[in-house]
Copies of this chain bind each other. A is one copy, B any other.
Amino acid sequence: MKFNIPKTMKAWVLGDPDELLFIEKPVPEPGRAEVLVRIDAIAVCATDLEVISHGPPAMIEGGLPFNKKFIPGHEYMGTVVKLGPNVDEYETGERVAVEIHAGCGRCKRCRQGMYTSCHNYGKNYGDQDKGHRANGYTTDGGFSEYAVNNINTLIKVPEGIGDEEATLIVTAGTATYGLDVLGGLIAGESVVVTGAGPIGLLAVSVAKALGAAPVILTDIEANRLEIGRELGADITLNAADVNVVEKVREITGGPGCDYVMECSGAPGALNEAADMVSRGGRICLAAFAAQPVTFDAAKLVMDNIYMFGIRGEGKSAVKRAAALMGQGRINAKPIHTHSFPLDEVPTAIKYAREKIDGAIKVVVKIKQD
Q: Report which A residues bind B (CB closer than 8 A).
A: 33, 86, 89, 105-106, 108-109, 111-119, 121, 127-131, 151-152, 176, 180, 182, 186-188, 208-209, 211, 213, 255, 270-271, 278-280, 285-289, 291-311, 314, 316, 319-324, 326-327, 329
Contact = CB atoms under 8 A, between A and B. Distances in A.
A175 B13 CA distance: 51
B188 A180 contact: no
Given A108-B280, A289-B298, 20 more contacts: A109-B279, A112-B113, A113-B113, A114-B280, A117-B303, A118-B279, A119-B280, A180-B186, A187-B320, A187-B323, A209-B211, A211-B324, A285-B300, A288-B297, A293-B296, A301-B311, A303-B309, A305-B308, A306-B307, A306-B308
Given A86-B127, A128-B86, A285-B300, A255 B119 contact: yes
B301 A288 contact: yes
Given A300-B288, A302-B309, A304-B117, A186 B320 contact: yes
B111 A152 contact: yes
A191 to B, nearest CB: 12
B304 A308 contact: yes
27 contacts: A86-B127, A109-B279, A109-B280, A112-B113, A113-B113, A116-B304, A187-B209, A187-B319, A187-B321, A188-B324, A270-B295, A271-B292, A279-B311, A285-B300, A285-B301, A286-B301, A288-B298, A288-B302, A292-B297, A301-B311, A302-B311, A303-B309, A304-B314, A305-B309, A306-B306, A306-B308, A307-B308
| 7 closest Cβ pairs, A-B complex | A117-B280, A188-B323, A301-B309, A300-B309, A113-B113, A304-B311, A187-B320
A278 B107 CA distance: 12
Contacts of A285: 297, 300-301
B114 A327 contact: no
Contacts of A322: 188
